[in-house]
Amino acid sequence: MLRSLKGLLCRPLKDRGFALHTAAKDRVSSLLTQDVQTAPERPRAVFYTNENDPANHAEQHEGRLYSIPLDELKTVFPHGLPYRFQQQIKTFNEACVMVRKPALELFTYLRNTNFAHPAVRYVIYGERGTGKTMTLCHLVHYCARQGWLVLHVPDAHLWVKNCRELLQSSYNKERLDQPLQASSWLKNFKTSNERFLKEIKTQKQYMWGRRDRTEAGRPLAEVVEQGLARVRNASDAVGVVLKELKQQSRLGPFRLLVAVDGVNALWGRTTLKKEDKSPVAPEELTLVHNLRKMLMNDWSGGAAVTTLSQTGALFKPSSAYLPQELLGKEGFDALDPFVPIPVPNYSPREFESCYQYYLQRKWLQHEKAHTEAGKEELRFLSGSNPRQLDRLAGPL
Amino acid sequence: MDGPRALASPSLCGQGTVAAGMAVAVGRVLQLGSRWGAAAPGVQTLRLICTTTARQRKNVGASGPEKYTEAFIKNQIEEFNLGKRHLANMMGEDPETFTQEDIDKAIAYLFPSGLFDKKARPMMKHPTEIFPEQRKIQWGEDGRPFHFLFYTGKQSYYSLMHETYEKLLNAQKYQDQLIAQDLPPQKKKRNLAGSRWLTKIELEEMLLEKLSDNDYSRFILLLEKLMTLPCGDTEEKYVQKFSKEVPVQLQKVVIEPLKYDERGVAFSTGEGGRKTARATAVVYDNGTGKITVNGIDILHYFPVLQDREQLLFPFQFLDRVGKHDMVCTVSGGGRSAQAGAIRLASAKALRSFVTEKEVEFMRQAGLLTPDPRVKERKKPGQEGARRKFTWKKR
């Protein structure tokens, strides 16, 4: 059923012509010039690939690992990588990501999108620990290399739970602001997209409170600065940024990628409470409201890729992983139509390469782990689930 | 005296309380009788004296002088038969064809008991089964003992040794004869593995006399010596009285052959249980190691690593980790119990795929043994099975 839906959506896009963006290609050169891996020479096993540009990843690279240079990591992923993966990067001193089929699918879709049409929404879903966030990160890296403007929300669940400060929004009396979350997001956004912020100009005048304002035609960086300086206005700054980007992506020289992890948080329930102990609905939060508007398909010139996540989800059973279950009726209707991308557990080949990677990095120290029997045992016990394998390999 | 006794037929009561009491009373009366020298065996007057219950476990017959007289036993047997007919009438069965099994069923129906110990429940058995064999009075009216070895103290034992030694001498003589006739000595095959000698307790029951360990071992040595010689037929029969058959292996477990389903794939089923959980497993050949429990993948059904390791164990032991698929159903128990139940079921199913030697290895590894541990009962006066209430000094 899902396949046919994808087919229906893909074909019209493909038929309208392939979009080879020469503009995007030019961007590549202006980006960080080091495309070549400057790792020390050592014999790379079969499961590695030297192709470090995700744009060139094709089916022959499926199941292999490619590494991201560490300084690129800081700019492209100031936030957004899973915590365990960050620890692994620190341990191994390199960031190796596996090339998997869902990511390659997404690359083909993105390459063939017609940017004159409304933005297509993709929903990556799958069971717990199968690699949805990593797929999203792979995609973000690809788009960053291609020169897109990446709006990466690492975990939307952080915005609906564990929030200490809730301020009443100055812009709209009914809504609530979250200054801390907004300011941290703005900071990371700035790190990843600095050069864009200088080039994009605001189209309207914005008033911050009674005294400050930003004129039309000023670079967006100023809005971001305003948000960072005045933490009270951070959420509104985020809203402004989102609105501007939405309007300008259609005409502007850049492509916009909206990458949201844990999108089911936007339509679920929150654990936040107002001062009178009444629960807060997600629409009452400024950040959530603005992000929802962003995910509507009324803008063009980019794509929106989202991930469902049960791990941080509130009030949802742990066996739920399908879009219908996690998004709820409201979310499903809001995101409909979307392209669902399922992410399965490791295939035998992918499992093999992950196992070889751990062996090669001397992560598996147990003497039995090197044997064939040990590999079978790991495969059985982890059920070829990436997260389980990672957790199992830890103590070994 | 007989009237009230007939109504409450003593063979119908719980094991021996009243009967033994009366028996001890009988014994007491009898002893008094024999001291006075007037009592003849068989004619007794009985007086019900409150006595302690006799110990039933030990061989009562060997421990002392007669406690149940012959007449008493005969009386009991008559009463038992009468009671049997009454019971058959009550149950609406034919009194002529009322067997002991029918009696047991009827008693269990009429007197239901929830006691755990089967021996504590009401039973109605033939008096020879309830009252242990008694040694008869071994001296006559004049006080002179019947047996010539009475004054050794262990007359049956010494007479037995005497007989056995006689047989031994006969066998030796027979062997000498054969040698004299230049015939080869016959070696008869004896199934050594299939039989064992009587135990000390069984021998005591047979002789109705207490033995010491030393005595018993001497007797067995003598029998062994007899065994080594080529024996004739009479000796064979004599020796067989003291040996018992032992089944070679406790019922060899039948391993079912493989079955084939519609696709032509070989499969086999197994069942297992642990605590309160019961599981059935169907193991298919030519698989990829996929396991489904109650329709759910094991990664979701058993999120804990420990349970999955339990499931892995039989396959890993046989080095067949990724080669079989399994579909199981399990119910009851908790997380660990269900894992253990499935483990046993899958091990039993895997027996059909594997050589006998490997089955033996599995058995020795403990994969085929059902775990007998169950939750221990909570006792009154304690908080749990073992935990006592907090001890307060005052």
| Percent of chain A scoring above 70 in pLDDT | 88
Same domain for A204 and A92 = yes
Which chain B residue has the Cα nearest residue A347?
B288
**A132 occurs within a structural domain:** yes
Same domain for A295 and A266 = yes
The mean per-residue pLDDT over the stretch A304-308 comes to 87
Q: Is the pLDDT of residue B61 over 80?
A: no
B309 contacts in A (CB within 8 Å)? 381
Mutate to test the interface with A, among B296, B298, B299 (most CBs of A within 10 A): B299
Residue B388 confidence class, pLDDT cut points 50, 70, 90: very high
- In this prediction, residue A16 carries a pLDDT of 42
How far from each other are the two terminal CA atoms of chain B, in whole angstroms?
A: 54
The mean per-residue pLDDT over the stretch A301-328 comes to 81
Which chain A residue has the Cα nearest residue B288?
A380
Residue B188 confidence class, pLDDT cut points 50, 70, 90: low
Q: Is the pLDDT of residue A282 over 50?
A: yes
- In this prediction, residue A18 carries a pLDDT of 40
- Tens digit of each residue's pLDDT (9 = 90 or more) over A82-108: 888 888 888 888 888 888 888 888 888
Same domain for A135 and A211 = yes
Same domain for A355 and A272 = no
Same domain for A360 and A268 = no
Among A299, A318, A342, give the residue marking a domain's end: A342
Cβ pair A97, A126 in contact under 8 A: no
Same domain for A188 and A208 = yes
- In this prediction, residue B131 carries a pLDDT of 86
- In this prediction, residue B280 carries a pLDDT of 94
The mean per-residue pLDDT over the stretch A284-312 comes to 84
The mean per-residue pLDDT over the stretch B191-204 comes to 83
Highest mean pLDDT among A28-37, A57-66, B71-80: B71-80
Cβ pair A334, A319 in contact under 8 A: no
Which chain A residue has the Cα nearest residue B289?
A380
A381 contacts in B (CB within 8 Å)? 305, 308-309, 312
Cβ pair A272, A166 in contact under 8 A: yes
Residues on chain A bordering chain B, Cβ-to-Cβ distance under 8 angstroms: 127, 319, 373, 376-377, 379-381, 383, 385, 388, 392
- In this prediction, residue B331 carries a pLDDT of 93
Is the confidence metric ipTM above 0.90 for this complex? no
pTM metric for this prediction: 0.66
Compute the Cα dihedral for B46, B51, B56, B58 and give only its sign.
negative
Distance from CA of A97 to the nearest CA of B (A): 24
C-alpha span between B95 and B88 (Å, rounded) = 5
**A45 occurs within a structural domain:** no
Q: How many residues does chain A have?
A: 396
Residue B344 confidence class, pLDDT cut points 50, 70, 90: very high
Residue B156 confidence class, pLDDT cut points 50, 70, 90: very high
B322–A319 CB contact, under 8 Å? no
Q: Which of A380, A385, A392 sits opposite B289 (nearest CB)?
A: A380
The helix/strand/coil state of B270 is: strand
- Tens digit of each residue's pLDDT (9 = 90 or more) over A168-184: 877 777 888 888 888 88
**A184 occurs within a structural domain:** yes
- Tens digit of each residue's pLDDT (9 = 90 or more) over A113-140: 888 888 888 888 888 888 888 888 888 8
Distance from CA of A382 to the nearest CA of B (A): 8
Same domain for A364 and A311 = no
Among A326, A342, A358, give the residue marking a domain's end: A342
**A20 occurs within a structural domain:** no
Same domain for A357 and A249 = no
C-alpha span between A10 and A137 (Å, rounded) = 23
A385–B319 CB contact, under 8 Å? no
Domain that holds residue A362: 348-394
The mean per-residue pLDDT over the stretch B345-356 comes to 89
Query: In which element (H, E) is residue B273 found?
Result: strand B266-274
Same domain for A175 and A117 = yes
- In this prediction, residue B277 carries a pLDDT of 93
Which chain A residue has the Cα nearest residue B306?
A381
Instruction: Label the pairing between strands A256-261 and A149-153.
Output: parallel
| Percent of chain B scoring above 70 in pLDDT | 79
Nearest CA to A287 among A390, A181, A170, A393?
A: A181
A44-53, A243-252, B287-296: least confident range: A44-53
- Tens digit of each residue's pLDDT (9 = 90 or more) over B207-221: 888 899 999 999 999
CB pairs under 8 A between A and B: 33
B301 contacts in A (CB within 8 Å)? none
| A317, two tokens | 């059973």
A380 contacts in B (CB within 8 Å)? 289, 308, 312, 315-316, 321-322
A329-333, B43-47, B152-156, B253-257: least confident range: B43-47
**A337 occurs within a structural domain:** yes
Which chain A residue has the Cα nearest residue B308?
A381
A381–B305 CB contact, under 8 Å? yes
**A25 occurs within a structural domain:** no
Which chain B residue has the Cα nearest residue A384?
B299
Domain total in chain A: 2
Q: Is the pLDDT of residue B134 over 80?
A: no
What amino acid is encoded at A367 in this protein? E
Highest mean pLDDT among A176-180, B27-31, B338-342: B338-342
C-alpha span between A219 and B162 (Å, rounded) = 123
Distance from CA of A375 to the nearest CA of B (A): 10
Q: Is the pLDDT of residue B5 over 80?
A: no
Same domain for A361 and A338 = no
Which chain A residue has the Cα nearest residue B309?
A381
A379–B300 CB contact, under 8 Å? no
Residue A291 confidence class, pLDDT cut points 50, 70, 90: confident
Same domain for A322 and A209 = yes
E strands along chain A, which residues?
65-68, 95-98, 120-125, 149-153, 167-168, 176-177, 206-208, 212-214, 256-261, 302-307, 339-342
Q: pLDDT higher for B38 or A237?
A: A237
Q: What is the distance, to the nearest Å, from the Cα of residue A289 to the centroid of all Cα atoms in its chain?
A: 19
A63-67, A359-363, B2-6, B131-135: least confident range: B2-6
For chain B, give the mean pLDDT: 81
**A7 occurs within a structural domain:** no
Contacts of A291 (CB under 8 A, 6+ apart): A153, A156, A242, A260, A266
Mutate to test the interface with A, among B291, B321, B323 (most CBs of A within 10 A): B321
Cβ pair B329, A388 in contact under 8 A: no
B321–A319 CB contact, under 8 Å? no
The mean per-residue pLDDT over the stretch B124-149 comes to 87
C-alpha span between A181 and A287 (Å, rounded) = 9
CA distances (Å), A372 to each of A367, B306, B326, B369, B371, in order? 11, 21, 21, 29, 31
CA distances (Å), B18 to each of A365, B49, B71, B331, in order? 74, 11, 18, 48
Same domain for A357 and A319 = no
Q: Which of B289, B299, B309 sits opposite A388 (nearest CB)?
A: B299
**A208 occurs within a structural domain:** yes
Compute the Cα dihedral for A255, A261, A266, A267 and give only its sign.
positive
- Tens digit of each residue's pLDDT (9 = 90 or more) over A212-271: 777 888 888 888 888 888 888 888 888 888 888 888 887 778 888 888 888 888 887 888
